[in-house]
Structure formats: C-alpha cells, structure tokens
Amino acid sequence: MRKVIDIHTHLFNLKYLPVAGILVRYAHPYISHRMATAIEKLLVSHTGSTFENAQGPVSEFVSPQSDVLKANTLKSSFGTEFLKMDFYQVKKDIVAIVPGTQFLDPVVLDGLMEFQEMALAENFISEVETADLAAGEAFGAESPDGLIGRLRNLFERLIEWICTKVKQMANYFKWFRFMQNSEEDILRYLMTKDGNGVTLYIHHMMDVDNYFNDPGAPRRYSSYFDHIEQIINMASLNQKYDGSIYAFAAFDPSREDGLEIIRDAIEEKGFKGIKFYPPMGYRPFDDPDYGNRIDRLYQYCIANDVPIFAHCNKEGFEAQPATHSGHNSNPMYWYQVLKRYPTLRLCLAHAGGGEGWFAEPSATDQVHHGEITDLPPDADEKQEDWNSSYAKIVYKLCLSFINVYCDVAYLDELSHVSKYSNIRLRLQKLFAAEPGFSKKIIYGSDWHMLFQEGINQTYMSNYMELFDEIGFTEQNREDFFWNNALDYLKLDTNL
C-alpha cells in the first residue's frame, strides 16, 4: 500500500472556537448578540471533549461528560449516514439532543424571546407557535403545546431563520453538528474513514478569539477552552497518539506574548511547527498593527529551523468577511518575506487556491519560474486564468526558495468532472517545465472543509487516481504523498 502523510488536518471542535462571535460576524446584520449567545450555549454544552475544562462545564444542565451527552454524540451515524443527512435532518438532530430543562436557562430564554418577537414581526412564525412565559404553562411539559415544546420549536425556527437570511450558514450548522464530537472521536473517525491508509496526520490549531471581538470594545466572545488550555489539550492528544499525529500551534500576533506561547509549545510541549492564518486580519509582510511581532516570529523560525504553515488562498475562514480579510493571504506578501528571509521553512496551504490550478491550460501560461511576473495590486478578485492567479506565485516561490512548499488541501474542484483534466494537464506541464516542482508539492486534505462539501471520503483516492495517470512517474507519486512532507517537516525517512 502506498504510504501517505496528510499535511493538513484539524482535530479541534466547537469548544475551541468563539461560536457566538462567529455567528454574529457571518450572519451579520441579522443575528443579535443575545440570539447568538443562546445558540452557542445550546451547541457547546452538547459538545464532547476528551479533556475537562478547568473552569467547569458551560451549562449547569449538561456536563461535557454526562450520560445525556454520551448518548447523543454522532458515533452512531458518524460516517456515511451523517454525510447523507440534509440540512433539515441536521437541524432536527441539533435540536433533539437538547434536554427540555436547558431551554429554561436565562441566557437561552433571553435569546429565544428576542427571536420570537422578530420572527412574529416578519411573519416567519405564527401566533400559535409562540411561547408565552407569563401564561404559566407547565414548565415540564414536553408536548408540542407545552412551554418547553414551544421553546424547542423556537430554537429550530431560529436555526432555520438564520439559514434563510444567509444561505451558506446551512453548511455551517452541519459542520457545527459534526464539530460537537470530541477531539479523540474526530481523530478516530479520520483514521478509520476518510484517512484510511494515512500513516501520519499533521493537525493545525487555530487561535481566533481576539479576531471575533471588536477592537477597543469589551470582550464579548471567547472559546470554551482558552488558548493555553487548547495547547495543553492537544499536547496530551499528541502524546497519546505519538507517531500517528503531530501538531502545529497557532500563532496570534495580537497577543503580546504570542511568540512566548509558540516557543513554549515548540520547545516544551513537542509541537512541530506554527500555523499562520492571515484571514484573521493580519498580513505576512509589513503588517501595520503587528509587523514587529510577526518579524520576531520569522527570526525565531530561522534561528531554530521551525516550519510555518500558512493559509494561502483568497478566502478561507475570514474574521472580516465583509472586507475580504482573506486577501491578506496574497502570496506576494510572502514573496517580500522570503526576500528578507530566504531560508524560511514555509508551506503555503491550498497552493494559492483552485482558480489557477484548475484554469484551462493555455500556450501563454508562464511555466518557467524565471518568467513569472508579479501580480498587480488588484489581483485578489481577478484570478481568471493561471497567469493572473495566486497559484502561479506559489509555484514560483516553491521553485525560487529552498525551503518553500505548498499543499493541495481543499481544492474541491478536483471532484468536478469538467475540471479534472485541467489540473492533470497543469501538473504534467509544470513537472516537465520545472522538474524540481515535483519535490515541493504535498498532499493535504483540510478534511473539515471537505466534510462540508460531502467529498471528504473521496478526496485522497481522487489524487491517487490522478497520480496513477499516464504522464506521472512513481517518483512523482512518492514525492507527493510522502517524501516532500518528510523534507518539509525534517522527519526521518524511516518513519
């Protein structure tokens, strides 16, 4: 069997994210703080964890390790069956696992009552669906006409309402439901289902709380586990599955002690590298707010030969979707960084994005790294072909700098029949023009995102089939799935 390293996975769940802040930002201007906080409480209190929060459970109603929670994880329908569920089934599933008494939590009641008033005004619900708290309905009544039954219905209507306002939120709620599983259950699923045959997974953390709060305003949103707890948790998981998973710790330049956190994770807790995520709102080069801190990170990485793994396409998990904070990932910023730090060990995730890789090949494509021209300032949204894409700059950087690599994670166009031949021809031509590029491109999945698209169980096999095509050598295949990741990570070839 072919050996595989997946350079790009994630094992965190909802307890590692500021769920209410994400809802407010992505469903703006429709969802209020109170509604988002109610949803967060109902979701996160039913999210499993291999670890306990030192601060205690989110809700007094359901402990993270309670029998109620254990009985309602996704284990019974974790794989194919869950993927077949449509939004309406997922919505019902989210609502069904909440015990009736939890709807009486003051935070939950507050959010649901605000929604009820708004939904009535918009004719989204009818009067017969309303919950009248003052009417003295039986608190324990689980029938549809009882108070708790009506509150349960309001929660379901709230999810439905958000998704009618912002259609992409339907995928988010399916992802949220999946992310209610524990860290270890997610890993076990990955090992036995999507990643069957993978020898080593590199999983990447996120540290995003600061970016889903408004600058200068009182802090409103935070993850269930704080950033230090997250590192401790994942260090424990890494140790338990040593040799099968390695972790990259997230760098947050908005933290004054961000570099110290990274240093501790690398030097004391066994982390192998650093996750760098510009869509949160910072640039790799000459950032106006955090430039000095980011520069010190590079200096540390150069001095210790520590690898950085950076998101690189025009979108991603943007902290500011309205202003396209994903554009901070433009690889031209990395070009400037690498001119200053030419030996920086760097992997550019998503290889710049699918726009270039799956564009129809043309005789005018720039394929020799010396002829590749810089992108103009307005290139972020105008990626119409290879020559105008982030991808060609990523390709150039891989060839121009000794320690620069790229991965192919979450290039979902691969599953589109009309696009498959484009990347096949693209890679064949690039390997022929610059054989060294075969030593710089790495398999990765970013399977959390593939899960939303329903292609998580076919992604790796599609790439295996691609590299079995005429025009690719056995060496190309071994480099892509194994050798290049070892080189980037500086791991023993006898792994």
**pLDDT tens digits for 244-291?**
999 999 999 999 999 999 999 999 999 999 999 999 999 999 999 999
Amino acid in the structure at residue 77:
S
- pLDDT for the residue numbered 54: 38
pLDDT band at 13 (very low <50, low <70, confident <90, very high): very high
> Smallest Cα–Cα separation from 226: which of 205, 247, 204, 246?
205
Question: Looking at per-residue confidence, does 222 or 178 come out higher?
Answer: 222
pLDDT at 78 over 70: no
CA pair distance 483, 481, nearest whole angstrom? 7
Give percent above pLDDT 90 in the chain. Answer: 75
136: pLDDT strictly greater than 80: no
Residue 2 has pLDDT above 70, yes or no: yes
What are the tokens at 481?
């799935």
Contacts of 121 (CB under 8 A, 6+ apart): none
Q: What share of the chain is helix, strand, coil (3-state, %, to 5)?
A: 50, 10, 40
The whole-angstrom separation of Cα 166 and Cα 172 is 10
Q: Return d(Cα 468, Cα 20) in angstroms, integer.
A: 45
pLDDT band at 66 (very low <50, low <70, confident <90, very high): very low
Confidence at 61, pLDDT banded by 50, 70, 90 = very low
Predicted local distance difference test score (pLDDT) of residue 67:
36
User: pLDDT per residue over 304-327, tens digit each?
Assistant: 999 999 999 999 899 999 889 999
pLDDT above 80: residue 392: yes
What is the DSSP track for 8-40? EE----GGGS-HHHHHHHHTTTTS-HHHHHHHH
CA-to-CA dists, residue 464 to 262, 401, 451, 481, angstroms: 35, 27, 19, 9
pLDDT of residue 52: 67
- Give the per-residue pLDDT at 96: 93
Check pLDDT > 80 for residue 84. Answer: no
Residue 80 pLDDT grade (very low, low, confident, very high; cuts 50, 70, 90): low
Q: Which two tokens stand for residue 410?
A: 């979450």
Of 408 and 65, the structure prediction assigns the larger pLDDT to 408
- For position 197, what pLDDT does the model report? 82
pLDDT in tens, 340-375: 999 999 999 999 999 999 999 999 999 999 999 999
What burial letters (b/e) apply to 365-379, b meaning 16+ CB within 10 Å? bbbebeebeebeeeb
Centre a 10 Å sphere on the Cβ of residue 327 and count the other Cβ atoms it contains.
20
Supply the pTM of this predicted model.
0.92
Question: In order of start, what are the domains of the chain with their CATH numbers?
Answer: 4-8+181-489 (3.20.20.140), 18-177 (no CATH)
pLDDT at 39 over 50: yes
- The 8-class DSSP code of residue 387 comes to G
Looking at per-residue pLDDT, the higher value among 442 and 175 belongs to: 442
Q: Measured in Å, how far apart are the chain's first and last C-alpha atoms?
A: 15
Contacts of 435 (CB under 8 A, 6+ apart): none
In this structure, which long-range contacts are made by residues 27-36, counting pairs with CB atoms below 8 Å and at least 24 apart in sequence? 27/162, 27/165, 27/166, 27/169, 28/322, 30/162, 30/165, 30/166, 31/162, 31/165, 32/111, 32/114, 33/220, 34/110, 34/111, 34/114, 35/111, 35/112, 35/114, 35/115, 35/158, 36/111
Task: Supply angle C-alpha 40, 82, 95, rounded to 5.
Answer: 35
C-alpha 144/C-alpha 148 separation (Å) is: 8
Say whether pLDDT at 19 is over 70. Answer: yes
pLDDT of residue 68 exceeding 50, the answer is no
Tokens representing residue 490 in the block: 């500086």
Distance CA 252, CA 262 (A): 9
What DSSP assignment string belongs to 161-222? HHHHHSTTHHHHHHHHHHTTS-HHHHHHHHHHTTTTTEEEEEEE----GGGGS-TTSPP---
